[in-house]
Amino acid sequence: MTRPASSSPANPAGANPIVGIVWMLVTGLCFVAVTALVKLMGVGIPPAESAFLRYVIGSVFLLPIVLPVMIKTRLTRRHWALFGMRGTMHAVGVILWFYAMTRIPLAEVTAMNYLSPVYVTIGAALFLGEKLAVRRIAALVAALVGTLIILRPGFREVSPGHLAMLLAAVVFGGSYLLAKVTADEVNPGVVVGMLSVVVTIVLAPFAAANWVTPDLREIAILCGVAVFATVGHYTMTLALRAAPIAVTQPVTFLQLIWATALGALVFAEPVDAWVVAGGCVILASISFITWREAMMNRRIITPPTPATKV
């Protein structure tokens, strides 16, 4: 299969790696703040309701910006089907993520979330015709080894929270692949706006089925989650505009360091060296795949880790 030229070459004209790294650092801090706030909220609000409220509040910030573009865009039946599939898939992923977030340590959620780009690479090979060279296969195997290092099945209990996070990473990877397909045909603002609309609609009946009226503290926390998630996706866009993914991807490693420190200092979670080691192996594998895509002048498929977050 002939590959199109990369839209994000290794050294694009006008690139500013320092600016890109700084924006990706800000992105990482935003998403660590998201995980910390959800952890702080606890299990008082059901996961589906938490996810629903996060998207309702996020839509308040997002839709006024993208709605004019959405109104002007003529969508085909195929586009509606793709948006529906992606929104449904993403809604499931968000519910699983909120469930896992309140049940396993921050560092483990962060480390296991690194798997989403790995699943994107596998999915691109299965469904988009991307070829997997031997080096990319070796990197994928290394990432799966990193997962085993984190979970250590047989040596410790693998809880429902771990299983939920594993599945969430798969679902977010599928959501990203559908976003890649639609973004090639529709304005990216429409893709983002439709995700917010469809996810909110899909989550609504699940939230209503087990509704718990949130108090002011929980509403404030969810507002913070929505703000930091929205800002994080925006600063990630600025980072990728300033520098290629091959430069900014390794910076996401710091999220694991920050999450580990925050979990230990604020939530009294023990520092697990195996989790940190496994996360490093996974992220190193992703960074290698991204670097190879850039060096081979391929279309960049492997996303930056924050692109597959809530």
User: Residue ranges per domain, the chain?
Assistant: 17-308
Token representation of residue 297: 């002048």
DSSP 299: P
Average pLDDT of the chain to the nearest whole number: 85
Please name which of 173, 164, 148, 176 lies closest in space to residue 282, comparing C-alpha atoms: 148
CA distances in angstroms from 53 to 111, 161, 172, 219, 300, listed in the order given: 25, 21, 19, 8, 33
Cβ atoms within 10 Å of 269's Cβ, excluding its own: 18
pLDDT tens digit sequence for 182-234 = 877 888 788 888 888 899 999 999 999 999 999 999 999 999 998 898 888 88
pLDDT band at residue 300, thresholds of 50, 70 and 90?
A: low
**What pLDDT score does 25 carry?**
92
**For the chain, the helix, strand and coil percentages under 3-state DSSP, each to the nearest 5:** 75, 0, 25
CA–CA dist 207, 243 (Å, integer): 39
List C-alpha distances in Å: 63 to 92, 134, 178. Answer: 22, 43, 20
Which pLDDT tens digit goes with each residue over 16-36? 888 989 999 999 999 999 999
Token pair belonging to 161: 């929270």
pLDDT for residue 167: 94
Instruction: Write down the pLDDT at residue 42.
Output: 84
The enclosing H or E element of 130 equals none
Instruction: Give CA–CA dist 218/213, Å, rounded.
Output: 9
Degrees (nearest 5) of the Cα angle 86, 90, 94? Answer: 175
- Within 8 A by CB and 6+ apart from 258, the residues are 28, 29, 32
Residues 6+ apart with CB under 8 A from 197: 59, 63, 87
Write down the pLDDT at residue 294.
Answer: 76
Q: How does residue 83 score in pLDDT terms, banded at 50, 70 and 90?
A: very high
Question: Quick check: 8 pLDDT over 80?
Answer: no
Q: What is the pLDDT of residue 14?
A: 52
For 268-281, how does the pLDDT look when each residue is reduced to its tens digit (9 = 90+)? 999 899 999 999 99
Against a cut of 0.85, is the pTM above it?
no
Mean pLDDT of 167-179: 90
Mean pLDDT, residues 253-257: 88
CB 116 within 8 Å of CB 173:
yes
Q: Are 262 and 106 in contact (CB under 8 A)?
A: yes
Q: What is the residue type of 93?
A: G
Q: Does an H or E element contain 74, and which?
A: none
> Residue 54's closest CA among 90, 84, 24, 79?
90
pLDDT for the residue numbered 10: 43
Mean pLDDT value across residues 37-45: 88
